[in-house]
């Protein structure tokens, strides 16, 4: 009998502000321990939180990007629990009235068939602002743990999805889309190694159509691969447990990436009672339409609308459109190149997804580190389009631009890569070839069509490969005919 896997994701995105959410300390990653922990971050006696406008703006941006309701009057609450990396003994978060209400995200899920995907809409329950905790370092303090509070107070947007995903692959596609989006709208650097984008997965299994099963929450998955592995392992574990007559108990688990297993967190064993209540230090947060509209004006065109536009107006395939909008930088590069070579969308797409991507991968760089500018690439494509150079010549120009830079037309000129388009000269060559090869001419005229290739070879050789192949074929055919 079948099992259905049900997955909901909670993603913590660190917001790319310069200062912390409730203090004026730097939000930069990687400083010496506790050098960016201010009196407020350390919860010294008597200090108070003051909310960072930049964090609120980023939350509004996200809300607009996922078409969510933005709460006109949201409330900050205290989530009370003791942990050494939580200086106040409570986390300032949002509970009843989060800043962002229901929204949705459209994702493309890959299938087993290469290049094939299907669309799926994942509903977002809410997104709320909260503060990050510090870090516990377990290494080399013989039996002790070291606490670094630089991260304490880093602004987080916790994005909660409905349990709409039905496979690890769907969950990963959703996480990737979210990851693309937060970087696209510039609210999070998306650096997963640094923990800027962390996923918690709520996994349960059930018989199709049955009630939701008991879920277990896998905490802190900081790579898409681990997300995939953890969900697959956890789901299988739950299925096996149930099929062996066991029951699932709600729990918080960690993924051991070495063993590829999930295990229950010992520290979370005792049932929590967070005693949420509105933070008396923070008044209600008011967001009026004027502010929302100001933020809307700063929002870039979103991936979905670009994809639609590329297909409808530029005639690209939806696969090309998806690929070109995989990141805002890629899309910007594409559009800038298209400006140089208007009406050559398909050619641009092919080159970006072909030679450019290949060369970038080879030197593992991303599009922002591409040594060729859109202007240069566009220059090359323009010359392919107007027949000045052949594709082969274009690849040569591309290589030179990549290694030495420069101006495409100048390179074409100095390297003499122009295609020959002087009909008279080409006819002269053909006449010579015909008179020099009577036997083959006779064969051809007697109907041995395949000899034609032999003449093409000679002709291209004579033109040192510069002849426009189409033109040359036309001349050969004509002359051989009479």
Partner 1 sequence: MSLSINDVFKVAQLARLEMTEQAAQTAHVQLLNIFGLIAEMQAVDTSGIEPMSHAQDITQRLREDVITEHNQREIFQAAAPHIKKGLYLVPQVIE
Partner 2 sequence: MFKSSLLQLGAALRSKKISSVELTQLYLDRIAEHNSKLNAYITVNEEMSLMQARAADVQLAQSTTHALTGIPIAQKDIFCAKDWRTTCGSKMLSNFIAPYDAHVIEQFNRVGAINLGKTNMDEFAMGSSNETSYFGTVKNPWNLDAVPGGSSGGSAAAVSASLCAAATGTDTGGSIRQPAALCGISGMKPTYGVVSRYGMIAFASSLDQAGPMAHSAEDLALLLNVMAGFDERDSTSLQRETEDYTRDLNKPLIGLRIGLPKEFFAEGLSNDVAQAIEASISEYKKLGASVVDISLPSSRLSIPVYYVLAPAEASSNLSRYDGVRYGYRAPEYTNLADMYQKSRAQGFGEEVKRRIMIGAYVLSHGYYDAYYLQAQKIRRLIAQDFVEAFKQCDVIMGPTTPTTAFNLGEKKDTPVQMYLSDIYTIAVNLAGLPGMSIPAGFGGNGLPIGLQIIGNYFDEARMLNVAHQYQQVTDWHTRTPQYLKV
- Cα 122 vs. chain centroid, distance in angstroms? 17
Residue with Cβ nearer partner 1 (23 or 125): 23
Stretch that binds Mg ion, among 22-30, 357-365, 386-394, 442-450 (CB under 5 A): 22-30
What's the Rg (C-alpha) of the chain? 31
Site for partner 1 in 54-93 (CB under 8 A): 54-56, 73, 82-84
* Nearest of 125, 128, 129 to residue 160 by alpha carbon: 125
Main-chain phi, psi angles of 307, to 5 degrees: -55, -50
Stretch that binds partner 2, among 114-122, 258-266, 271-279, 468-476 (CB under 8 A): 271-279
| x-marked contacts with partner 1 along 199-228 as a string, rule CB under 8 A | ------------------------------
- The site that binds partner 2 (CB under 8 A) totals a number of residues, namely 30
Q: Does 144 bind partner 1 (CB under 8 A)?
A: yes
Contact with partner 1 (CB under 8 A) among 13, 68, 133, 149: 149
> Are the beta carbons of 134 and 148 closer than 8 angstroms?
yes
| Min CB(70)–partner 1 separation in Å | 15
10 Å CB burial of residue 32 (0-12, 13-18, 19+) is exposed
Q: Does 137 bind partner 1 (CB under 8 A)?
A: yes
Among partner 1, partner 2, Mg ion, none, residue 29 binds (CB under 5-8 Å by kind): Mg ion
- Cα 196 vs. chain centroid, distance in angstroms? 14
Residue with Cβ nearer partner 2 (286 or 428): 286
Site for Zn ion in 134-193 (CB under 5 A): 158
Residue with tokens 């108990």: 249
Q: Which residues contact 82 (CB under 8 A, 6 or more apart)?
A: 89
| Min CB(66)–partner 1 separation in Å | 22
Residue with Cβ nearer partner 2 (34 or 373): 34
- Cα 303 vs. chain centroid, distance in angstroms? 10
Q: Does 258 bind partner 1 (CB under 8 A)?
A: no
Q: Does 425 bind partner 2 (CB under 8 A)?
A: no
C-alpha angle 255/257/259, rounded to 5°? 95
Main-chain phi, psi angles of 195, to 5 degrees: 80, 20
| x-marked contacts with partner 2 along 376-415 as a string, rule CB under 8 A | ----------------------------------------
Among partner 2, Mg ion, Zn ion, none, residue 196 binds (CB under 5-8 Å by kind): Mg ion
Among partner 2, Mg ion, Zn ion, none, residue 158 binds (CB under 5-8 Å by kind): Zn ion
Q: Does 138 bind partner 2 (CB under 8 A)?
A: no
Residue with Cβ nearer partner 2 (80 or 357): 80
Write the CA distances from 354 to 301, 315, 364, 383, integer angstroms. 25, 18, 15, 18
| Min CB(279)–partner 2 separation in Å | 8
Residue with Cβ nearer Mg ion (189 or 409): 189
Q: Which residues contact 469 (CB under 8 A, 6 or more apart)?
A: 390, 456, 460
Q: Does 194 bind Mg ion (CB under 5 A)?
A: yes
Query: H/E element holding 168?
Result: helix 168-184
- Cα 142 vs. chain centroid, distance in angstroms? 41
| Min CB(218)–partner 1 separation in Å | 13
Residue with Cβ nearer Zn ion (16 or 91): 91
Among Zn ion, Mg ion, partner 2, none, residue 264 binds (CB under 5-8 Å by kind): none
- What count of other Cβ atoms lies within 10 Å of the Cβ of residue 369? 10
Distance in Å from the first CA to the final CA of the chain: 76
Q: Does 148 bind partner 1 (CB under 8 A)?
A: yes
> Are the beta carbons of 5 and 166 closer than 8 angstroms?
yes
Within 341-467, residue ranges assigned H as helices are: 345-351, 357-362, 374-385, 391-404, 408-414, 423-436, 438-445, 452-462
Write the CA distances from 168 to 5, 11, 126, 219, 230, integer angstroms. 9, 15, 22, 15, 9
10 Å CB burial of residue 312 (0-12, 13-18, 19+) is exposed
Among Zn ion, partner 2, partner 1, none, residue 47 binds (CB under 5-8 Å by kind): partner 2
Contact with partner 1 (CB under 8 A) among 48, 212, 286, 410: 286
Both tokens of residue 122? 């994942």
Q: How far apart are CA 157 and CA 303, in angstroms?
A: 21
Interacting residue ranges for Zn ion, rule: CB under 5 A: 158
Interacting residue ranges for Mg ion, rule: CB under 5 A: 14, 29, 194, 196
Interacting residue ranges for partner 1, rule: CB under 8 A: 17-19, 23-26, 32-40, 42, 44, 50-56, 73, 82-84, 136-138, 141, 143-149, 254, 265-267, 273, 275, 278, 280, 282-286
Interacting residue ranges for partner 2, rule: CB under 8 A: 39, 42-51, 78, 80, 82, 84, 87-90, 145, 147, 149, 273, 275-277, 280-283
């Amino acid at each position: 009998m079948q099992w259905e896997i049900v997955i909901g994701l909670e993603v913590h995105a660190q917001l790319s502000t310069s200062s912390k959410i409730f203090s004026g300390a730097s939000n930069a990653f990687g400083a010496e321990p506790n050098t960016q922990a201010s009196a407020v971050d350390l919860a010294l006696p008597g200090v108070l939180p003051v909310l960072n406008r930049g964090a609120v703006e980023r939350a509004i941006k996200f809300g607009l990007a996922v078409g969510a309701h933005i709460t006109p009057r949201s409330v900050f609450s205290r989530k009370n629990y003791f942990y050494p990396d939580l200086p106040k003994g409570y986390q300032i978060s949002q509970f009843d009235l989060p800043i962002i209400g229901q929204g949705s995200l459209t994702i493309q899920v890959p299938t087993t068939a290469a290049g094939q995907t299907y669309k799926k809409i994942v509903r977002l329950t809410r997104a709320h602002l909260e503060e990050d905790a510090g870090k516990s370092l377990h290494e080399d303090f013989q039996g002790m743990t070291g606490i670094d509070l630089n991260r304490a107070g880093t602004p987080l947007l916790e994005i909660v999805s409905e349990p709409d995903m039905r496979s690890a692959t769907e969950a990963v596609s959703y996480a990737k889309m979210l990851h693309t989006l937060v970087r696209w709208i510039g609210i999070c650097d998306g650096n997963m190694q640094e923990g800027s984008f962390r996923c918690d997965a709520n996994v349960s299994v059930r018989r199709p159509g049955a009630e939701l099963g008991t879920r277990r929450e896998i905490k802190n998955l900081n790579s898409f691969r681990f997300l995939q592995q953890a969900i697959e392992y956890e789901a299988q574990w739950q299925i096996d447990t149930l099929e062996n007559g066991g029951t699932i108990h709600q729990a918080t688990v960690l993924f051991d990436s070495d063993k590829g297993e999930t295990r229950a967190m010992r520290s979370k064993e005792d049932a929590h009672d967070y005693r949420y209540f509105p933070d008396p230090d923070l008044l209600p947060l008011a967001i009026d339409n004027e502010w929302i509209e100001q933020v809307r004006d700063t929002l870039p065109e979103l991936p979905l609308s670009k994809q639609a536009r590329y297909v409808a107006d530029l005639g690209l395939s939806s696969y090309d459109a998806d690929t070109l909008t995989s990141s805002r930088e890629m899309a910007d590069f594409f559009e800038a190149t298209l400006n140089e070579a208007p009406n050559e969308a398909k050619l641009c797409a092919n080159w970006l997804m072909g030679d450019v991507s290949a060369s970038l991968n080879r030197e593992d760089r991303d599009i922002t580190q591409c040594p060729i500018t859109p202007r240069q690439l566009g220059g090359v494509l323009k010359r392919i389009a107007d027949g000045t150079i052949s594709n082969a010549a274009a690849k040569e120009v591309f290589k030179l631009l990549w290694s030495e830079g420069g101006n495409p037309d100048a390179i074409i000129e100095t390297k003499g890569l122009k295609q020959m388009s002087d009909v008279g000269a080409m006819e002269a060559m053909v006449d010579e070839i015909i008179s020099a090869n009577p036997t083959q001419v006779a064969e051809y005229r007697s109907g041995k069509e395949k000899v034609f290739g032999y003449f093409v070879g000679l002709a291209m050789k004579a033109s040192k490969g510069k002849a426009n192949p189409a033109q040359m074929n036309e001349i050969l055919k004509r002359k051989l005919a009479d």
